Structure 1
Amino acid sequence: MKPVLWLKIAMLPACIAWSNTAVSADEPELATEVAVQTGTIAKATLHRYVMAYGTVEPEPATGDKPAAGSKIAAPMTGILTQTYCVEGQQVKKGALLFELDTRSADALIAKAEVAVEFAQKNFARKQQLTATDNISRKLYDEAELLLQTARQDLLNAKTQRELLQIKAPLSGTVTAIHFKVGEAVSLATVLADLVDMDRLDIAIRVPSLEAFALRLGQAAEISTGSAGSNPIQQGKLAFIGAQVDPLTDTVLVRSTLSKASGFRPGQFVKVRIIVEERPERLAVPIESVVTRGGVSLIAVIDGDSAKQKVIKPGLRDGNLIEISGEGLQEGMAIVTQGVYGLPPETRIRVLK
């Protein structure tokens, strides 16, 4: 009995191995299949940008144009007695905006008018006496000089009176009024801000390391700067400063704005300056490119399988990135989402 029992025990592992082999032979071989989303290689015009922030301002004075904004200042000390404008009002050049207390000026004018009247009568008598040779030339000249001085004093008094009436130096919109009637103002006190709303531009501060790529006439896309906002205005670079601000390490750049742009002075904006354009370049969505060990790859689809292909990435513009590589053509199908988990070559299943 013992030899038989030993034989049965020895044959048991062999039977188990045979049984597993038979089962494996009956089952079909499982193939790896990865679910992905796909896209195509396309040709696109890509851009390189310099990003910066800026503030809406009135255009500064140039060689042939005056400034588009003005700080309306008091020409002398006085009391504000009349306001002829309100904030938001459009005014024409030369329109009366404010008036200071004129009582002292009116008194000087009245005094000067009396002096002129006296000097005129005195000079008229001297002229009559001259006709009959009853007056010396010296007295005649003194009377004439007295009349000229009185007339000049009257002119000066009227000029001082006119200075108390503050007028608009340009046509535009009153954007702010800083004083009320009855308040005292001093020399050069700013009473109001006046801006020509059709002549606004963007004062942009560009980091000095990026300013080398800027050129006059380059396009600028302007948005409000809020998250997800799209460009709402197109402008062009009209000025590039030659000096770097040592406090901010930035260069002042100005971009034009179209009339009726909808922007307001002082508004903060985001600016994207186009410094390079590359037309007709092969491009793919950025999520279709994966980098492993310093090598960039995309997965090109052939039938129901995908094979990784080495590419050289180039300029990125938004969600697209420029690519180049051997055998790449427009219209080739590629894996977009799911590419990170792919082996070098595998079967795929396209998600709808």
Structure 2
Amino acid sequence: MSRRAFATPALLAVTLVFGIACSRADEGEVATDVGVHVGRIERATLHGYVTAYGYVEPAPAEDGTPAAGAVLSPLSPGVLAEIHAVEGRRVAKGDVLFRLDSRMAEVLVRKAEDDVTFAEQTLTRQQLLLQTDGTSQRALQDAQQRLSEARNALAAARTGLAYLEIVAPLAGTVVQLNARAGQSVDATTVLAKIVDLNRLVVTAGVPAGEAEGLKVGLRVLLGADSAAAHGTLTIVGREVDTSTGTYRVQASIPAGAGFTPGQFTEIRIIAQERKDVLVIPEAALVTRAGEGTWIAVVDGDQAVRRAVTVGLRDGGRVEVSGEGLEAGTRIVTDEAYGLPASTRIHVLER
């Protein structure tokens, strides 16, 4: 075999190794140039929330204002003769919603009226007789007593008749109707429920470990969506419910917010407020066990890890603090989790 024939395979091997090495070097350089989306550190006001769940109900009576709900039951036993209430319909205070059969009560009123008339006539006769010494002072006093008793009996009979009408004790909406004509009822029978839908509250339970610092007057977000209505904390209980481990709280609901009695809802009490703090999108924050928490700060065409301390989280944004951080600093957002400690990057358009 000639030297030339031997050299040719060796030269090919060297060329192949060099080519692979160059190829791997090129591949490594490409792998460290990562396409990323970027954002900026901003200044904003964030809030810390205490979340609880509860039910919507009528507002209770307070400071001379009557309760916003009422349960209607008859004051006297009887048979339901008329129903004027309609579920879902608004009523005014004093509207007659139910009538019981009143025939017997009307008879009693007429009898009592007759008794009063007779007692008045008797008293008048005794007064005339007394002027001519035709009667005694004792007989006159007896006549006066009988008239007083007759008038009291008439008042009682009229009251009994009035009790057979059940009227709306407040202006509101009939939210529940349980009555039917001909039904025998008494004071334990619930005929209907009326609620002023413009005066509702949410009653919820806050875990005992999260109740510290809660006080009347704090703002409350009602509902879980971004368009949550704003209410105010009106009651903060001071006794833990041992069966649930929670404190009872109550929040007002603004009129027209769209809530209904009995509805289950989330409330978020604004327990903290941090003004003018540095914030980033939550997607830009990376936390790994044993490595800590950081963000990837953009420096030219490089992304470099920067350790941060995390504060409040609110609506997809996170409060951060750390050495060298300031508003306007560019950071990697969506791809931060997969980046090495330092890498070359290029910015992707959204």
Fold match by TM threshold 0.5: yes
Q: Which amino acid aligns with 1:163?
A: Y
Displacement of 1:93 after TM fit? 1.6
For the residues of structure 1 that align with 2:38 and 2:226, how far apart are their CA atoms? Answer: 27
What is the CA deviation profile of residues 213-234 of structure 1, one whole-angstrom value per residue up to 9, with x for unaligned ones?
Answer: 31221111112x5xxx323311
Q: Hey, what does 2:283 align to over in structure 1?
A: 287
**2:74 is aligned with 1:103:** no
Q: Hey, what does 1:231 align to over in structure 2?
A: 227
In the alignment, is the contact (CA less than 8 A) between 2:69 and 2:196 conserved in 1? yes
Displacement of 1:74 after TM fit? 0.8
Of stretches 114-123 and 269-278 in structure 1, the one that deviates more from structure 2 is: 114-123
| Paired residue secondary structure (1:230) | coil
Q: Hey, what does 1:351 align to over in structure 2?
A: 348
Match among 319, 323, 327 for residue 322 of structure 1: 319
What is the CA deviation profile of residues 197-256 of structure 1, one whole-angstrom value per residue up to 9, with x for unaligned ones?
Answer: 221122222222111131221111112x5xxx3233111111112222222222221112
Q: Hey, what does 2:252 align to over in structure 1?
A: 256
Displacement of 1:341 after TM fit? 2.4
Displacement of 1:54 after TM fit? 2.2
In the alignment, is the contact (CA less than 8 A) between 2:73 and 2:186 conserved in 1? no
Q: Hey, what does 2:46 align to over in structure 1?
A: 46
Q: Which amino acid aligns with 1:320?
A: R
In the alignment, is the contact (CA less than 8 A) between 2:207 and 2:247 conserved in 1? yes
| Paired residue secondary structure (2:212) | helix
For the residues of structure 1 that align with 2:187 and 2:24, how far apart are their CA atoms? Answer: 98
For the residues of structure 1 that align with 2:20 and 2:202, how far apart are their CA atoms? Answer: 75
**2:306 is aligned with 1:309:** yes
Q: Which amino acid aligns with 2:271?
A: V
Q: Hey, what does 1:87 align to over in structure 2?
A: 87
User: Relative to structure 1, is the Cα distance of residues 84 and 25 closer, same or farther in structure 2, using a 3 angstrom cutoff?
Assistant: closer
Return 5+ residue gaps in structure 2 as ranges: none
For the residues of structure 2 that align with 1:348 and 1:198, how far apart are their CA atoms? Answer: 57
Displacement of 1:305 after TM fit? 1.5
For the residues of structure 2 that align with 1:245 and 1:27, how far apart are their CA atoms? Answer: 70
Identity of aligned residues (%): 41
For the residues of structure 2 that align with 1:28 and 1:157, how far apart are their CA atoms? Answer: 107
Q: Hey, what does 2:134 align to over in structure 1?
A: 134
User: Relative to structure 1, is the Cα distance of residues 324 and 146 closer, same or farther in structure 2, using a 3 angstrom cutoff?
Assistant: same
Return 5+ residue gaps in structure 1 as ranges: none
Q: Hey, what does 2:143 align to over in structure 1?
A: 143
| Paired residue secondary structure (1:190) | coil
Of stretches 282-291 and 16-25 in structure 1, the one that deviates more from structure 2 is: 16-25
For the residues of structure 2 that align with 1:266 and 1:231, how far apart are their CA atoms? Answer: 21
Aligned-pair Cα RMSD in Å: 2.5
Q: Hey, what does 1:182 align to over in structure 2?
A: 182
For the residues of structure 1 that align with 2:277 and 2:222, how far apart are their CA atoms? Answer: 25
| Paired residue secondary structure (1:334) | strand
Displacement of 1:315 after TM fit? 1.6
For the residues of structure 2 that align with 1:25 and 1:257, how far apart are their CA atoms? Answer: 71
For the residues of structure 1 that align with 2:200 and 2:50, how far apart are their CA atoms? Answer: 22
Match among 269, 273, 287 for residue 269 of structure 2: 273
For the residues of structure 2 that align with 1:28 and 1:54, how far apart are their CA atoms? Answer: 62
In the alignment, is the contact (CA less than 8 A) between 1:235 and 1:255 conserved in 2? yes
Displacement of 1:174 after TM fit? 1.8
Spell out structure 1 runs of 4+ moving beyond 4 A.
Answer: 11-29
**2:338 is aligned with 1:341:** yes
Displacement of 1:19 after TM fit? 4.4
For the residues of structure 2 that align with 1:270 and 1:117, how far apart are their CA atoms? Answer: 65
Q: What's the TM-score once normalised by structure 1's chain length? A: 0.89
Paired positions, count:
343
Of stretches 176-185 and 207-216 in structure 1, the one that deviates more from structure 2 is: 207-216
Displacement of 1:20 after TM fit? 5.5
For the residues of structure 1 that align with 2:336 and 2:90, how far apart are their CA atoms? Answer: 60
For the residues of structure 2 that align with 1:184 and 1:237, how far apart are their CA atoms? Answer: 43
Of stretches 20-29 and 312-321 in structure 1, the one that deviates more from structure 2 is: 20-29
| Paired residue secondary structure (2:308) | strand
Displacement of 1:48 after TM fit? 0.6
User: Relative to structure 1, is the Cα distance of residues 25 and 127 closer, same or farther in structure 2, using a 3 angstrom cutoff?
Assistant: closer
Q: Hey, what does 2:243 align to over in structure 1?
A: 247
Q: Which amino acid aligns with 1:240?
A: V
